[in-house]
């Protein structure tokens, strides 16, 4: 994301956050997002793979050439990882969100944690 790029959608943000920990396959991303958000954010297959397709086209993620041992994993799975542009975009989005949260606290929209 650059200054000309639109903000990330919630699905894009959560997928990039999942991949910030390392390579992941689609189903693993779905599980991690649901777990991390205590079920508040559930990515269905259509949303997940449509979003992955957009992130691939934007150059924010790539399909990984590395594969786990095929005896331990389903060979049909595709693994994804962040690109340098994806890492920058994620960091910019998180900084923008932090600025918004700071402003909300300043305006007493959010209770300041003790």
pLDDT at residue 105, rounded to an integer:
87
Query: Which domains can be identified in the chain, with CATH numbers?
Result: 10-106 (1.10.10.10)
Residue 82 near residue 45 (C-beta atoms within 8 A): no
Cα 42 from Cα 30, distance rounded (Å): 7
Q: What is the mean pLDDT of each run of 10 residues along the chain (114 residues)?
A: 74 97 93 96 96 98 77 74 97 95 88 60
pLDDT at residue 65, rounded to an integer:
80
pLDDT at residue 1, rounded to an integer:
45
What ranges in the chain are assigned the alpha helix state H?
10-19, 26-36, 45-57, 84-106
């Amino acid at each position: 994301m650059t200054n000309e790029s639109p903000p990330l959608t919630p699905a894009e943000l959560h997928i990039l956050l999942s991949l910030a920990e390392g390579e992941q396959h689609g189903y693993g991303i779905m599980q991690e997002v649901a777990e991390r958000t205590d079920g508040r954010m559930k990515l269905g297959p259509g949303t997940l793979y449509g979003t992955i397709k957009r992130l691939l086209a934007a150059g924010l993620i790539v399909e990984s050439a590395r594969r786990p041992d095929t005896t331990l994993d389903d060979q049909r799975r595709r693994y994804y990882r962040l690109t340098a542009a994806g890492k920058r975009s994620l960091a910019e989005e998180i900084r923008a969100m932090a600025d918004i949260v700071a402003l909300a606290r300043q305006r007493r929209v959010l209770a300041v944690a003790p």
